[in-house]
Structure 1
């Protein structure tokens, strides 16, 4: 009886403080349910989710982000006899922030919410500090969608300012669509930087790359550099968005489509978090000559900003 009470108290604590994966793991242990049984109970409720995904969620290797995954989390609360909102609240409140590194985009470059623990491990392997000493002043990105409707390439030019002395590198992260192969992705340093160490793991579709500057910055210095990622290893892509943990300067995003794969509709959107409704939607007109759409935000606010498209 004492053991049951301690287990219940431990689960209650995890549900209060998180993180999500430890709370889920504690709830599974408390109920004594194997993952294949959880999958079966979810299927009875019309929710399809793989045992592998459930395993990743409880290990912290990934976090549920997509609408169908969030519906599965809500159903999990019922299956595991938890209070309504107990797990979804943890997902909404614990979006990780890394002030020194690029926030990946998602779903076309999925946000850190699903792969945050993997990212932490890769950053630790690179010895990346908690504060890299940089903040973004302005950024321009170009994304290329290939003939198979895949996210083929991305190039970024970034302007940063150092807020401490001695900064000489930047950590860039690229997250591919589901099914992307990080071993076949490539990184290029194109202007005012050179490629350092590159890390990836088989279980997550992301690459972490170290970009080394040509000089060591002092506090207050600005620096302009460019880099890119070649992907093309996943399937159909339907959106590209970027996360901003802090207010920033101008952000320009252009998405260009192969002439063999043109969408029927494009639009921009904003989002407070990956779990929030999308707002500030606006239709974008595809340029006939350049087969591209773009957005410009003069002063970005914390949250997500991106472009989505339909293939029809």
Structure 2
């Protein structure tokens, strides 16, 4: 089935390269032999086999002549200048294959590597075969100023065949008890294995999909965590190991515990200085603040607040 312009625009933002190329070929309705002919007309020699390998993710263009062919492909497929080349740059790291560029959870969230150990114990690959197309997250702060819970509505795209699960990570505030945190599978998924590190205050939950995805397919699912076990909360931070699509974060406060100031921020890593600062105005009746980030990059995004 031919894909749409909307799907093409999305995957050109999020990648990976091979999926963007395959989607562009589908939307334009061009067979590989015809693409080869158009490239030759522009003085670029490229075999049909190489094109096929690129769109399947078997090989990745790296040499100068291959990158010249990618520039010509952008013309042939009527794509924005640099859109395919950007995906190659974003994902270009030794041994990374064709998934979006990323950092380890250790550099993002904590030196102890507890999340990495939990993921390894569940035999999860680094990227899980998925990348984010869109993510809406709602965080609830309770009357004791505690992180009462959060819910997520998540849209992902598979970049390999056979993906049927997602590992969700919840990091509580100091003093939290992960053994008392409840995992809720809300939409199009069910709860599988759950593991935690009590000392680090981290929990990893396996969410099982209702189907196995093929490469390029999208999936929408919802889940949540009921916490309320930690002390007073002063921020909520979301770590992104890979670049992705749109991220929306909303933080809501109990009427008995309202902050005096809220700000958004971004960080390249847990030890880096916070940038992209901006004040957020608490809504009156619903007592919420939010941020919207288009085309997130690896790093940290969050909202913090002052109680006094």
TM-score range, shorter chain: 0.5 to 0.7
| Structure 2 partner of 1:165 | 161
Question: Relative to structure 1, is the Cα distance of residues 202 and 243 closer, same or farther in structure 2, using a 3 angstrom cutoff?
Answer: closer
256-265 or 244-253, which deviates more = 244-253
- Please give the per-residue CA displacement for 1:9-61, whole angstroms capped at 9, x wherever unaligned: xxxxxxxxxxxxxxxxxxxxxxxxxxxxxxxxxxxxxxxxxxxxxxxxxxxxx
Aligned partners of 2:162, 2:282: CA distance in 1, in Å? 44
Hey, what does 2:129 align to over in structure 1? 133
For 1:222 and 1:119, the matched residues in 2 are separated by 26
Indicate the larger mover: 144-153 or 277-286. Answer: 277-286
Change in Cα spacing, 1:201 to 1:307, as seen in structure 2 (3 Å) is: closer
Partner of 1:155: 151
Which of 153, 171, 189 pairs up with 1:193? Answer: 189
Offset at residue 278 of structure 1 (A): 1.1
Match of 1:290 in 2: 286
Offset at residue 274 of structure 1 (A): 1.4
* Structure 1 segment 62-101 matched on structure 2, within 5 A: none
Matched, 1:112 2:115: no
Does the CA contact (< 8 Å) of 2:177 and 2:201 recur in 1?
yes
Residue 306 of structure 1: how far off its partner (Å): 0.9
Which of residues 260, 268, 289 in structure 2 aligns to 1:264? Answer: 260
CA distance in structure 1 between the partners assigned to 2:256 and 2:225 by the alignment: 22
Distance (Å, rounded) in 2 between the aligned partners of 1:180 and 1:190: 23
- Map Cα deviations across residues 225-270 of structure 1 (whole Å, 9 max, x no partner): 0100111111110011112223221110000000000000011111
Give the ranges of 4+ consecutive aligned residues of structure 1 lying more than 6 Å apart after TM superposition.
Answer: 102-105
Q: TM-score, normalised by structure 2?
A: 0.64
Mean Cα deviation higher: 273-282 or 161-170: 273-282
Question: CA 1:186–1:103 in 2, change beyond 3 Å: closer, same or farther?
Answer: farther
1:144 paired to 2:140: yes
Contact 2:141–2:254 (8 Å) recurs in 1: yes
Q: In the aligned structure 1, how far is the partner of 2:232 from the partner of 2:270?
A: 20
Number of residue pairs aligned between Structure 1 and Structure 2:
208
**Which residue matches 1:228?**
224
Q: Which runs of 5+ in 1 are unaligned?
A: 1-98
Q: Which residue of 1 aligns with 2:75?
A: none
Residues 111 and 175 in structure 1, CA contact (< 8 A), matched pair in contact too: no
Equivalent residue for 1:17? none
Q: Give the alignment's Cα RMSD to 1 decimal.
A: 2.2
